[in-house]
Amino acid sequence: MAMEVGAEVKTGLKVYCSISEPLKVMISGAPASGKGTQCELICQKFGLVHISTGDLLRAEVSSGTEIGNKAKDFMNAGQLVPDEIVTAMVTARLSREDAKEKGWLLDGYPRSFSQAQSLEKMKIRPDIYIVLDVPDEILIDRCVGRRLDPVTGKIYHVKNFPPETEEIKARLVTRPDDTEEKVKSRLEIYKQNAEAISSTYSNILKKIDGNRPKEVVFEEIYSMLSQVQKDKVKPMKLGTTLESLNQASSGKDNWRGIPTRLNNIPHSREIRKYFYEDVLQATQRAINEGRTRLKVEINIPELNPEMDVYRIGTLMELVRVIALSFADDGKRVKVCVQGSMGEGALAGMPLQLAGTRKILEFMDWGDYGAMGNFINIGSIGAKEVDEQDDMFILVAPQNAVGNCIIDDLKAMTDAAENRPVILINPRLKDLPGSSGIMQTMGRDKRLEYAASFQSCYFFRLLYYMGTQYPIMGAIRMSYPYRYELYKRVDEPSGNEKYIILSTFPEKPNSDEINNAFLGKPRKEMGVDV
Ligand code: AP5
């Protein structure tokens, strides 16, 4: 994520920061429409990582790898290589650090509806989908006349772009799939698939006339990409983190307001989905900004172990959504749940976690073989940290009467070093020891350690003292925005809604909440410049 900072001095000091996310571009078009030629120019200007499935496959073929041997015959015949080979190759390449940092330019993928759907499922979406449009007869001439320089990778054409020197000319090669007959077959396959792929990206599709000099085509692409890049820069006043803490997230990230009917149990599928997505977005933002010690605290009735309606299935679903999303990004996620604790009469599992590990093991972890590969199940402790793990999700780690999880947790996070550890609904407060006396040994250190996890999502319903009906309001915080305080109001129509009363840089205490409900003005704590 690149950051630009500029300063403007007028009557007072004003500092503007902007965060620009890397560009994500897809380029498509019939064989020889000029994708490779334009990609070279785009990468020179925008510094994107060029991912061409054709080039990747040709490299595999020439190195004689297993993938290359499987792909060779399909390519030489001008047919598509089977999806599973190409998709695995592309997703592995997209998940590499350089593509995430610099942005990517995907060329030649997706080439079928199912490939487009694979990306959609993994939430891999470009900012723009460019289609180069060139008449058939021109395409055939371009293919038949195309020559490649095996040393530089540069693309030439015997008539349109002849090589600069005799030396280069002597070493040029022709692609085996560039005969007239094979080009016709490739063109046919392209046409069969083009419409279905375009429909997936219809809202970001830009068709460009590719039958013009390459510099003219590039000029148009350049101005489009510059515009997209500009749109991606989110202007911010003051320092990013400071400023973002001063903002409520309402109105951002397609947030749709707090769902109603939270007293209806079981929660509807929509409500559960809403919260899973809300938590996921906040977690992703925090991880993308390099945060590594995070906690999610979400306390809707089905996730509140103190309520009769607590459902472990809802907690498991939430964990699955988060874990699979990171696994889809190519991360190896270890989902950890503490084992039996304590000794003698006090041995056992915190009630909230009983059966959790079995459920995790038997859960449906998707059709892509994520389980055992990108998702692994573990316990809590230093020995659970393996070299290949990229991040850890800890399911409701908690102290049990007579036993403290914090030492194991600390050993684990020490071993994880700078890899992210996300605690989902942790309960790390001190509990009475077996003799009823508080465990005081090292208490301060333990509490300090528990507090070192940064909240990346917080949601709690508020009730009037001593009751659980009706709901009074809610507090929500979604990283990196402020804590938002909502009041639930009944509408004359019989519906209910949540209205925002105030926002806070830190979790509000009960006085602050009461004052906001009573309409008392609050001293603004945010920084305004
Ligand atoms: P791939 O390499 O992607 O081939 P393609 O899509 O058929 O595209 P080309 O590389 O032929 O053309 P291009 O559009 O890049 O044009 P270029 O810039 O070179 O894929 C090859 C094979 O791999 C496939 O057939 C398939 O088997 C397999 N494969 C790849 N991806 C797959 C996937 N996702 N799923 C399954 N299988 C997959 O230009 C062409 C010529 O025109 C050059 O000589 C150039 O100099 C010239 N030229 C370019 N622009 C201009 C211009 N503006 N004016 C005049 N001449 C121009």
Mean pLDDT, residues 433-437 taken together: 50
| H or E element that contains 501 | strand 496-504
Locate the ligand 1 atom nearest the alpha carbon of residue 38 and give its number. Answer: 18
Give CA–CA dist 323/277, Å, rounded.
12
Per-residue DSSP letters for 459-473? EEEEE-TT--SSEEE
pLDDT at residue 30 tops 70? yes
Res. 443 pLDDT band, cuts 50 70 90? confident
pLDDT at residue 184 tops 80? yes
C-alpha 28 to ligand 1 mean position (Å): 9
Predicted TM-score (pTM) of this structure: 0.51
Query: Does residue 217's CB lie within 6 angstroms of at least one atom of ligand 1?
Result: yes
C-alpha 258 to ligand 1 mean position (Å): 48
C-alpha 66 to ligand 1 mean position (Å): 23
pLDDT at residue 399 tops 90? no
Q: Which range has the top average pLDDT, 46-60, 340-354, 367-381?
A: 46-60
pLDDT at residue 252 tops 60? no
Residue 270 in tokens: 């929509």
Query: Does residue 34's CB lie within 6 angstroms of at least one atom of ligand 1?
Result: yes
Q: Which residue has the higher pLDDT, 101 or 385?
A: 385
What CATH topology corresponds to 22-231?
Rossmann fold (3.40.50)
Nearest CA owner, ligand 1 atom 43 = 146
Buried b / exposed e over 63-85, threshold 16 CB at 10 Å, is eeeebbebbbebbeebebbeeeb
Domain boundaries, the chain: 22-231, 241-518
Q: Which of 10-14, 234-238, 324-328 has the lowest mean pLDDT?
A: 10-14
Nearest CA owner, ligand 1 atom 23 = 54
Cis peptide before 426 (omega within 30 of 0): no
Residue 435, Cβ neighbours under 10 Å: how many?
8
Residue 118, Cβ neighbours under 10 Å: how many?
21
Query: Does residue 214's CB lie within 6 angstroms of at least one atom of ligand 1?
Result: yes
Instruction: Give backbone dihedrals phi and psi of 96, rounded to 5 degrees, phi first.
Output: -70, 150
At residue 61, the pLDDT reads 92
Locate the ligand 1 atom nearest the alpha carbon of residue 157 and give its number. Answer: 44
Query: Does residue 427's CB lie within 6 angstroms of at least one atom of ligand 1?
Result: no
Locate the ligand 1 atom nearest the alpha carbon of residue 58 and give its number. Answer: 23
Residue 379, Cβ neighbours under 10 Å: how many?
16
| H or E element that contains 36 | helix 35-46
Per-residue DSSP letters for 63-104? TT-HHHHHHHHHHHTT-PPPHHHHHHHHHHHHTSHHHHHH-E
At residue 523, the pLDDT reads 52
At residue 234, the pLDDT reads 47
Nearest to 52 by CA among 129, 128, 104, 127: 104
Give CA–CA dist 347/402, Å, rounded.
9
Nearest CA owner, ligand 1 atom 13 = 32
Residues annotated as part of the active site: 35, 111, 146, 175, 186
Span between the terminal Cα atoms of the chain, in Å: 25
At residue 285, the pLDDT reads 92
Q: Which of 181-190, 263-272, 351-360 has the lowest mean pLDDT?
A: 351-360
Residue 88 in tokens: 């695995």
Query: Does residue 109's CB lie within 6 angstroms of at least one atom of ligand 1?
Result: yes
Nearest to 409 by CA among 355, 453, 350: 453
pLDDT at residue 439 tops 70? no
C-alpha 54 to ligand 1 mean position (Å): 8
Query: Does residue 78's CB lie within 6 angstroms of at least one atom of ligand 1?
Result: yes
Per-residue DSSP letters for 203-257? GGEEEEE-SS-HHHHHHHHHHHHHHHHHHH-EEEES-HHHHHHTS--TTSTT---
The answer to whether the beta carbons of residues 190 and 30 sit under 8 Å apart is yes
The percent of residues above 70 in pLDDT, for the chain, comes to 84
Contacts of 216 (CB under 8 A, 6+ apart): none
DSSP annotation of 329: T
**Average pLDDT over all residues of the chain:** 84
Residue 139 in tokens: 């395409």
Amino acid letter, residue 306: E
Q: Which range has the top average pLDDT, 203-207, 401-405, 519-523?
A: 203-207
Residue 386 in tokens: 């393996």
Query: Does residue 197's CB lie within 6 angstroms of at least one atom of ligand 1?
Result: no
Nearest to 322 by CA among 335, 309, 304: 335
pLDDT at residue 204 tops 60? yes
At residue 397, the pLDDT reads 86
Classify burial at 168, counting beta carbons within 10 Å of its beta carbon; exposed 0-12, middle 13-18, buried 19 or more.
middle
Q: Which residue has the higher pLDDT, 261 or 474?
A: 474
Q: Which of 90-104, 309-323, 391-405, 491-505 has the lowest mean pLDDT?
A: 391-405
Mean pLDDT, residues 287-298 taken together: 93
pLDDT at residue 233 tops 80? no
Contacts of 62 (CB under 8 A, 6+ apart): 68
Amino acid letter, residue 129: Y
Classify burial at 396, counting beta carbons within 10 Å of its beta carbon; exposed 0-12, middle 13-18, buried 19 or more.
buried
Query: Does residue 126's CB lie within 6 angstroms of at least one atom of ligand 1?
Result: no
C-alpha 32 to ligand 1 mean position (Å): 4
Query: Does residue 177's CB lie within 6 angstroms of at least one atom of ligand 1?
Result: yes
Res. 342 pLDDT band, cuts 50 70 90? low
pLDDT at residue 520 tops 60? yes
Choose one of 118, 155, 159, 168 to mutate for the ligand 1 pocket test, by most ligand atoms within 8 angstroms of C-beta: 155
Choose one of 27, 40, 57 to mutate for the ligand 1 pocket test, by most ligand atoms within 8 angstroms of C-beta: 57
293-299/234-237 β-pairing? unpaired
Residue 298 in tokens: 């979400």
Query: Does residue 232's CB lie within 6 angstroms of at least one atom of ligand 1?
Result: no
